[in-house]
């Protein structure tokens, strides 16, 4: 077996030798990821509904600087970064329908749903 192969063993007395080209696995791009994105005109409205708004920058420009730095960092590692815009008129209803709060938990689930919808299961 070459250095680019893996062996898998099934339970019991049955063995399966399956060769996987490790170069293909290593060449695979990192998965697409999502980042919540906020329009400047929506920032104040979203801060008023986020229970964790006190942990966010007080201004949209401050938030944008952090968001862009995070996006650049992820892209530097090869990720495709999908901007997922949060609409203050839609997000509360989405969170209620999906059983999550309006804070970080809701944003993470909202982003994950959007990325899965666009890119499918990436596991």
Residues in the chain: 123
∠ CA 61-93-43, nearest 5°, is 10
Distance CA 72, CA 82 (A): 12
Least confident window among 20-24, 33-37, 50-54, 95-99: 20-24
CB 104 within 8 A of CB 57: no
Least confident window among 4-13, 15-24, 61-70, 93-102: 4-13
| Predicted structure pTM score | 0.74
The per-residue pLDDT for range 4-30, each reduced to its tens digit, is 433 333 334 333 334 444 445 456 778
57, burial (CB in 10 Å: exposed 0-12, middle 13-18, buried 19+)? middle
Provide the token pair at 11: 């339970």
Distance CA 34, CA 86 (A): 12
Instruction: Give the pLDDT confidence score for residue 26 in this predicted structure.
Output: 56
Provide the token pair at 52: 């964790």
* Every domain of the chain and the residues it spans: 30-119
């Amino acid at each position: 077996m070459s250095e680019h192969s893996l062996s898998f063993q099934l339970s019991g007395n049955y063995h399966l030798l399956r060769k996987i080209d490790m170069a293909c696995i290593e060449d695979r791009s990192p998965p697409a990821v999502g980042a919540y994105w906020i329009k400047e005109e929506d920032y104040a409205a979203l801060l008023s509904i986020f229970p964790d708004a006190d942990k966010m920058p007080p201004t949209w420009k401050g938030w944008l600087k952090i968001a862009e730095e995070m996006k650049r960092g992820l892209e530097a590692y090869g990720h495709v970064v999908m901007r997922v815009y949060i609409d203050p008129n839609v997000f509360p209803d989405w969170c209620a329908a999906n059983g999550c709060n309006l804070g970080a938990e809701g944003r993470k689930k909202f982003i994950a749903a959007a990325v899965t919808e666009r890119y499918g299961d990436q596991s």
